[in-house]
């Protein structure tokens, strides 16, 4: 049995310790907002927070995060939140229509949220540096950068 807290809820999981966290969250806990892209830690689609820091969950074994706090895109704001209840990053994403196909965007939002938590007023270079590991095939990078500036206020 492995204990894990996800979005503030503690779980005791009967899952093999080498199972990637992404699949535990998606298939065991049923939280599908985090996506599978490359499966090799290269694209960022699977990004969640481990104690507030962004991590690649497709290559993170469950045993490595046992007993720790995980936040997924579903945990950033309440279920069925009104716009006012969304985080500043989520609101900026909506206002600037950042997503195109949307597949990478939960990972983008998790990375952006972690960036702003550690650097509340990032420069363009800070943003590019922090976000460079989150790949978007639609090329929404200019809107991502604008939304991060907007969320920074």
Paired with 2 in beta bridges are: 13
Restricting to residues 29-68, which ones interact with ligand FES according to CB under 6 A?
Answer: 36-39, 41-46, 56, 58
Closest separation between CB of residue 37 and ligand FES, Å? 4
Give the C-alpha separation, 152 to 15, whole Å: 39
CA distances from 119 to 45, 114, 149 (A): 22, 8, 11
Number of residues that bind ligand FES (CB under 6 A): 12
- For residue 11, give both structure tokens: 């779980």
Give the C-alpha separation, 84 to 88, whole Å: 9
Q: Please say which residue, 46 or 76, places its beta carbon nearer to ligand FES.
A: 46
Q: Please say which residue, 57 or 96, places its beta carbon nearer to ligand FES.
A: 57
Could you please report the per-residue DSSP string of 45-64? TTEEEETTEEEEGGG-BGGG
Closest separation between CB of residue 50 and ligand FES, Å? 14
Closest separation between CB of residue 43 and ligand FES, Å? 3
Closest separation between CB of residue 25 and ligand FES, Å? 12
Question: Interface residues with ligand FES (CB under 6 A)?
Answer: 36-39, 41-46, 56, 58
């Amino acid at each position: 049995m492995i204990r894990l807290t996800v979005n503030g809820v503690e779980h005791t999981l009967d899952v093999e310790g080498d199972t990637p966290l992404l699949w535990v969250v998606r298939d065991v806990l049923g939280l599908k907002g985090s996506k599978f892209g490359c499966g090799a830690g290269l694209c960022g689609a699977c990004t969640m927070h481990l104690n507030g820091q962004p991590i690649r969950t497709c290559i993170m074994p469950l045993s490595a995060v046992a007993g720790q706090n995980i936040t997924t895109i579903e945990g950033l704001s309440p279920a069925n939140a009104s716009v006012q209840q969304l985080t500043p990053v989520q609101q900026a994403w909506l206002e600037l229509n950042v997503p195109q196909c949307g597949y990478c965007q939960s990972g983008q939002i998790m990375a952006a949220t972690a960036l702003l938590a550690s650097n509340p007023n990032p420069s363009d270079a800070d943003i590019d540096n922090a976000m460079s590991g989150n790949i978007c095939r639609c090329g929404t990078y200019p809107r991502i950068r604008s939304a991060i500036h907007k969320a920074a206020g």
